[in-house]
Amino acid sequence: MTATAVAATLGAFAAAPGLPSSTAAALSHGLARSGAPAPFVDCRDTKRVALTFDDGPTQYTAAILGTLERQHTVATFFLIGPHALHYRKDVPRQLRDGDAIGDHTVTHPNLTRLPPARIDHELETAAGEIASVTGQWPTLFRPPFGAWNARVRGAAGAEGLSVVMWSVSPQDWKNHNPHLIEQSVLARARPGAIIVLHDRYATTHRPSRTSFTR
């Protein structure tokens, strides 16, 4: 898959056991794969990046989790609330693997175009649906389309959610060529980068013919 290639070929980089904030410092979350609490990591100093996946879980999420497990890599998944309910088996697996889980709304709208009550509904309802599966209220939030403003940030804060954006996007939602997606990510990966991918597209998890295995 492209995610396989990204996880396996970041070269000098490693996937962080947490998610970098806008200052590129990793947020501690959950349990690391060893079972110990994930440490706080400054991704710039340790040459790490954060892999993140939006819009899941979907029928492709299990394959992505398998890849991450084989590469001993963790990621952060921003979940659509109803998807978490539909693909319930994938979400506990993410937690067991040490992955972080965040809120990505109920219907994936552009929140900046919605009235405050609808914004609150999208964030709170999705968080509740996710928590019904994980037993934990999410603390991370990624706005659909990366569209947010002060009103959206305020609503997220009221729900205890930190807004997390990204710094590297191969636009796998538009570009469905696995090799090009892979090369776009690898060419732009830098210490502290936050890479956004989507586990809703078959081409994001499909192997690239030129995938490295080092």
Catalytic residues: 54, 198
Which amino acid is residue 183, in one-letter code?
Q
How many C-beta atoms surround the C-beta of residue 72 within 10 A? Answer: 13
d(CA 168, CA 161): 22
Q: In sequence order, what are the residues at sequence separation of 6 or more whose Cβ sits closer than 8 angstroms to the Cβ of residue 151?
A: 112, 116, 119
Token couple for 1: 């898959």
**Contact by Cβ (8 Å): 43, 192:** yes
d(CA 178, CA 154): 37
Written as one string, the DSSP assignment of 75-104 is -EEEE-HHHHHHTTTHHHHHHHHT-EEEE-
